[in-house]
């Protein structure tokens, strides 16, 4: 606006000035010949300047200045939350004042509404924060949440108690002040690598970690935060396992017992073999020798079985999971490079998996390789493996001087860098059920370990991806009033959207082959709370139906019969409102089987087809595909029960705001609207049938 005013004044003053100059030039030419005319020309030039200035002032005052004044007044009023702008009564913009005053009144009303909503949201967040704080406070397990930068964002009372109230524990403090960085970073990297390989969030299996000071051993579970803003952050849940894990008396007793019987039994076996080769005199010594041989073999089997059971008992005390030995080699190479150990490690493990703690086992082998390189100048080693019946035989072969037994004993029983609780290599390997021994060879040697075989428990387990927004808690659930539930707002219903796949279209003769359902609570679609069940119809599925939903007799083999499947569905449903598209078809199948299943499906039913027809009467196609497309809903897994149930739930939530604008804002009003629409459509069908006849 200022620029427009400047241009206006410049144009008019420029025109007036040019006119005055022209008149002055002409007057100078005429002043000698006709002084009177020259004087008139001078007065005309001066009058032109005054006239253009007056016109500029008038236009500026009437047309350009009022919008600028109005804009400045509006800004002041908005800042001070005034009632509305003011202008002179003769202003050309004066007719705008009533509309602007109403706009300001509406704005003030909206601000009051927003202020109230903001205050209520603040109170709700505070209530939720207090509830979550109470839950975290009462958890027996310690919990620490860290951001991508590794700084602590949240911890509970149990974490402080389990960690021994260390001075480094506090909001905004780095986690490595209270927890062992090596172990935690190892498992964080394991999870990040798994997350990059797939699209679903990984979940870590338990592992061991020590405190930063090494005085406590923790049994931990680590999960990465999946949100975009939290990428790189993690949640760690842990408990104190020092007493249960640090004590090795039981394991040492079992180890000593195992060593104790092996020597005498080997001597007994050797003696029986010598006696068997000696000349026999008479049948009685031969019979006695046979008894000794049989009893020796039986004792060997018993003790071998007891030894294996003791080994499994020891293994069960630690959190072990499946580990690809090739990944262990990669880990060892990285750690050797980090610690600047000049040793080349060759992978001969193939695709063999074992069971173990990847971090602790890696630290143990790393310590052995580092000691070899330091004490004997070993520069090359090979890690090989072979799968046996009850174990994975791991061999670490190296070239160079062969360590003696005393050196190996010192390494085996000495402290190990980075091991939680100060565990020695012997204790770590014993927890893996491994008896390490060193086999000397020409120009080197081999470290031999028998590790547990893979069990199927992987360190990273993938699960079905959940929606970005957590759906598994709600502290503001609507209260269910079975007496007055028909007055419940549609936006606060507890409902279940469902769909059935069947062998045909006749509820009197056909059977259910699949049930899919999903819950809606308080206007939220809980994708994580779904129900999907195949059903054995007790008869072959017609090919025409298979072409429609893709279910075959082989796929339904072993599925529960309708009675059991419907009883399970009723348990999932409870007292919730049923929602279906073309509900009459699906409900007819449910109610036909109620006696067989021993349950009643008398829940109120809303039909999204009828609601769609009510809101869009000029549209002919109200199929699920068409209605979903009109509301921008993508149907995934069409003609599967759960896929159609999800689409039905999304469609219902899209229809709710439109129904509310029509005054249909409660369950009772929606049910009445469905009944009216159903009767109207029935009359139209009857009329069409009569006209056709």
- pLDDT, tens digit (0-9, with 9 covering 90-100), for 148-161: 888 888 888 889 88
Residue identified by tokens 């707002």 is 489
Whether 466 shows a pLDDT value over 50: the answer reads: no
Contacts of 586 (CB under 8 A, 6+ apart): 498, 499, 500, 580
Q: What confidence tier does 461 reach under pLDDT thresholds 50, 70, 90?
A: very low
Supply the pTM of this predicted model.
0.51
pLDDT at 654: 94
Helix (H) or strand (E) holding 460: strand 460-462
| CATH assignment of the domain containing 645 | 3.30.420.10
133 and 199 in a common domain = no
**Tokens of residue 679, six digits:** 């009767």
Asked if residues 365 and 342 have their Cβ atoms less than 8 Å apart, the reply is no
Asked if residues 173 and 155 have their Cβ atoms less than 8 Å apart, the reply is no
The pLDDT of 81-106, averaged and rounded, is 62
389 and 340 in a common domain = yes
Measured CA to CA, the distance from residue 478 to residue 652 in angstroms comes to: 18
513 and 609 in a common domain = yes
The pLDDT of 61-87, averaged and rounded, is 59
287 and 215 in a common domain = no
The answer to whether position 486 is within a domain reads: no
Whether 92 shows a pLDDT value over 60: the answer reads: no
How many domains does the chain divide into?
6
User: Which one has a higher pLDDT value, 207 or 347?
Assistant: 347
Residue 344's DSSP bridge partners are 380
560 and 528 in a common domain = yes
Question: Which of 270-284, 449-463, 622-636 is the least confident region?
Answer: 270-284
Q: In terms of residue numbers, what domain contains 131?
A: 96-137
**Tokens of residue 434, six digits:** 């491994």
Question: Which of 264-268, 434-438, 449-453, 573-577 is the least confident region?
Answer: 264-268
- pLDDT, tens digit (0-9, with 9 covering 90-100), for 200-259: 445 666 777 888 877 788 888 888 876 544 457 889 999 887 765 544 555 555 555 665
Whether 431 shows a pLDDT value over 70: the answer reads: yes
Whether 324 shows a pLDDT value over 80: the answer reads: yes
The pLDDT of 292-305, averaged and rounded, is 69
Contacts of 39 (CB under 8 A, 6+ apart): 27
The answer to whether position 481 is within a domain reads: no
343 and 282 in a common domain = no
What is the CB neighbour count within 10 angstroms for residue 22? 14
The answer to whether position 531 is within a domain reads: yes
The answer to whether position 482 is within a domain reads: no
Whether 652 shows a pLDDT value over 90: the answer reads: yes
Residue identified by tokens 């269910």 is 480
- pLDDT, tens digit (0-9, with 9 covering 90-100), for 400-418: 887 888 888 888 888 776 5
- Cα–Cα distance list, 276 to 263, 264, 287, 290, 687 (Å): 20, 18, 11, 9, 106
**Tokens of residue 611, six digits:** 């609601």
pLDDT at 313: 62
The answer to whether position 344 is within a domain reads: yes
**Would you state the torsion angle of the CA atoms of residues 426, 432, 433, 439, taken in this order, to the nearest 10 degrees?**
-50
User: Which one has a higher pLDDT value, 242 or 549?
Assistant: 549
Which among 216, 246, 276 is the end of a domain?
246
Residue 348's DSSP bridge partners are 384
| CATH assignment of the domain containing 354 | 3.30.565.10
Determine whether 639 is an active site residue: yes
> Mean pLDDT in the chain?
77
User: Which one has a higher pLDDT value, 247 or 74?
Assistant: 74
59 and 42 in a common domain = yes
Residue 324's DSSP bridge partners are 353
pLDDT at 488: 87
- Cα–Cα distance list, 408 to 236, 262, 395 (Å): 37, 22, 15
The answer to whether position 174 is within a domain reads: yes
Whether 537 shows a pLDDT value over 70: the answer reads: yes
Question: Which of 81-85, 121-125, 155-159, 540-544 is the least confident region?
Answer: 81-85
The answer to whether position 276 is within a domain reads: yes
334 and 260 in a common domain = no
CB neighbour class for 179 (10 Å; exposed up to 12, middle 13-18, buried from 19): buried
Whether 633 shows a pLDDT value over 80: the answer reads: yes
The answer to whether position 480 is within a domain reads: no
Q: What confidence tier does 170 reach under pLDDT thresholds 50, 70, 90?
A: confident
270 and 379 in a common domain = no
Q: What confidence tier does 444 reach under pLDDT thresholds 50, 70, 90?
A: confident
pLDDT at 693: 40
Q: Which of 131, 133, 150, 141 is nearest to 230 (CA)?
A: 150
pLDDT at 615: 92
500 and 445 in a common domain = no
The one catalytic residue in 176, 448, 458, 639 is 639
pLDDT at 608: 94
The pLDDT of 597-606, averaged and rounded, is 84
pLDDT at 269: 64
Measured CA to CA, the distance from residue 516 to residue 586 in angstroms comes to: 11
Whether 127 shows a pLDDT value over 60: the answer reads: yes
Residue 524's DSSP bridge partners are 521
| CATH assignment of the domain containing 242 | 3.30.450.20
Portion of the chain with pLDDT greater than 70, in percent: 66
pLDDT at 210: 81
545 and 651 in a common domain = yes
345 and 360 in a common domain = yes
């Amino acid at each position: 606006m200022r620029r427009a005013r400047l241009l206006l004044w410049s144009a008019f003053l420029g025109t007036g000035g040019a006119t005055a100059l022209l008149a002055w030039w002409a007057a100078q030419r005429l002043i000698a010949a006709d002084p009177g005319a020259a004087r008139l020309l001078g007065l005309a030039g001066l009058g032109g300047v005054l006239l253009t200035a007056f016109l500029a002032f008038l236009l500026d005052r009437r047309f350009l200045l009022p919008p600028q004044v109005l804009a400045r007044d509006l800004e002041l009023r908005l800042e001070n939350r005034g009632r509305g702008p003011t202008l002179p009564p003769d202003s050309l913009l004066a007719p705008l004042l009533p509309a602007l005053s109403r706009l300001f009144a509406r704005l003030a009303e909206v601000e009051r509404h927003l202020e109230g909503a903001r205050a209520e949201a603040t109170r709700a967040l505070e209530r939720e924060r207090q509830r979550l704080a109470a839950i975290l406070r009462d958890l027996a397990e310690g919990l620490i949440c860290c951001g991508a930068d590794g700084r602590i964002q949240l911890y509970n009372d149990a974490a402080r108690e389990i960690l021994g109230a260390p001075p480094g524990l506090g909001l905004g403090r780095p986690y490595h002040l209270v927890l062992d960085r090596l172990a935690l970073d190892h498992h964080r990297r394991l999870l990040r690598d798994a997350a990059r390989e797939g699209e679903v969030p990984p979940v870590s299996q338990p592992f061991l970690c020590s405190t930063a000071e090494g005085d406590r051993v923790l049994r931990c579970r680590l999960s990465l935060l999946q949100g975009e803003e939290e990428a790189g952050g993690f949640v760690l849940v842990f408990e104190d396992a020092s007493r249960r894990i640090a004590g090795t008396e039981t394991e040492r007793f079992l180890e000593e017992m195992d060593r104790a019987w092996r020597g005498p039994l080997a001597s007994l076996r050797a003696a029986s073999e010598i006696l068997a080769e000696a000349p026999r005199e008479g049948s009685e010594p031969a019979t006695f020798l046979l008894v000794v041989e049989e009893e020796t073999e039986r004792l060997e089997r018993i003790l071998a079985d007891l030894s294996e059971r003791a080994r499994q008992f020891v293994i069960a005390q630690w959190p072990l999971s499946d580990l690809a030995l090739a990944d262990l080699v990669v880990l060892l190479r990285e750690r050797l490079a980090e610690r600047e150990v000049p040793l080349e490690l060759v992978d001969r493990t193939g695709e063999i998996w074992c069971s173990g703690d990847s971090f602790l086992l890696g630290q143990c082998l790393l310590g052995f390789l580092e000691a070899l390189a330091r004490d004997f100048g070993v520069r090359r080693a090979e890690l090989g493996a072979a799968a046996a019946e009850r174990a994975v035989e791991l061999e670490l072969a190296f070239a160079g001087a062969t360590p003696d037994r005393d050196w190996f004993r010192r390494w085996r029983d000495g402290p190990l860098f980075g091991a939680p609780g100060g565990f020695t290599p012997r204790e770590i390997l014993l927890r893996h059920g491994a008896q390490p021994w060193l086999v000397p060879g020409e120009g080197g040697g081999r470290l031999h370990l028998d590790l547990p075989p893979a069990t199927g428990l992987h360190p990273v387990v993938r699960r079905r991806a959940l929606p970005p927004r957590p759906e598994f808690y709600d502290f503001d659930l609507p209260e269910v009033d079975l007496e007055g539930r028909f007055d419940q707002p549609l936006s606060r219903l507890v409902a279940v959207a469902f769909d059935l796949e069947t062998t045909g279209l006749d509820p009197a003769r056909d059977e259910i082959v699949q049930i899919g359902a999903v819950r809606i609570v308080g206007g939220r679609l809980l994708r994580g709370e779904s129900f999907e069940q195949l059903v054995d119809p007790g008869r072959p599925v017609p090919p025409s139906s298979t072409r429609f939903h893709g279910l075959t007799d082989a796929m339904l083999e072993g599925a529960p019969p309708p009675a059991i499947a419907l009883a399970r569905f009723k348990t999932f449903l409870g007292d919730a409102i049923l929602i279906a598209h073309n509900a009459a078809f699906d409900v007819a199948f449910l109610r036909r089987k109620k006696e067989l299943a021993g349950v009643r499906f008398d829940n109120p039913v809303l039909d999204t087809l009828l609601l769609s027809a009510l809101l869009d009467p000029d549209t002919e196609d109200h199929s699920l595909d068409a209605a979903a497309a009109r509301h921008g809903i993508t149907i995934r897994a069409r003609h599967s029960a759960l896929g159609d149930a999800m689409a039905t739930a999304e469609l219902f939530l899209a229809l709710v705001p439109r129904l509310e604008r029509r005054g249909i804002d409660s369950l009772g009003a929606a049910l009445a609207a469905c009944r009216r629409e159903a009767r109207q459509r029935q009359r139209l069908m009857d009329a069409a049938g009569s006209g056709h006849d």
